[in-house]
Amino acid sequence: MKSEMMKKLEQVAFGRTKPFCYGCYRQAPTGVCLSCGSDDLMRELPGVGVEYGLNWVIEHILREELTPVDLDTEFESSMEGCYADETQIGFIKVNTLWAIQKLDPTAWDMAKQEWIDSEEQEDRILSFDNGSTYYKVEDLESLE
Ligand SMILES: [Zn+2]
């Protein structure tokens, strides 16, 4: 899934950029600079910049056009409905999810990590930076 999606992002980045000769500071749409004959070309993303390769373009697209998954919020809403909203502890009533987080933050974090792993295994979310940032697969698929 991840390598397929990287391929797709590379295609998107490639399609949005043009070959660019930095020495002559002009586009080279044919892949060879018409001024100097060089084929050692950068990629220009109009209005953004010029640089070698496509990774910077991909990073730009992810940063500007997608919203990373808010894992805390999404996990919490996935837990809603699994338990009663309120739990009686002695003579007080508390919000159940709040109580779990407060009473056993470690268990909460482990459950959250398991949820993240299963979301990733089922191809609903995807990370390109070893789990620092996740994107929704449907958001990635909608890029063009
Ligand atoms: Zn040139």
Distance 59 CA to ligand 1 centre (A): 26
Q: How far apart are CA 43 and CA 19, in angstroms?
A: 5
- DSSP β-ladder status, 92-95 and 86-89: antiparallel
Helices and strands in the chain, H and E counts:
6, 8
Global pTM value: 0.83
pLDDT of residue 43: 97
Distance 60 CA to ligand 1 centre (A): 25
Long-range contacts at 125-130 (CB < 8 A, ≥ 24 apart): 125/69, 126/1, 126/2, 126/5, 128/2, 128/6, 128/62
Q: How far apart are CA 85 and CA 57, in angstroms?
A: 45
33 close to 41: Cβ distance less than 8 angstroms: yes
Distance 56 CA to ligand 1 centre (A): 22
Q: How far apart are CA 31 and CA 18, in angstroms?
A: 9
Distance 20 CA to ligand 1 centre (A): 8
Distance 61 CA to ligand 1 centre (A): 27
Q: How far apart are CA 128 and CA 135, in angstroms?
A: 9
Distance 37 CA to ligand 1 centre (A): 6
pLDDT of residue 120: 95
Which mean pLDDT values do the consecutive 10-residue runs of the chain (144 residues) have? 92 96 95 95 96 96 96 94 93 96 97 97 94 95 93
Please identify which residue in the block is written with the tokens 């299963």: 118
pLDDT of residue 41: 97
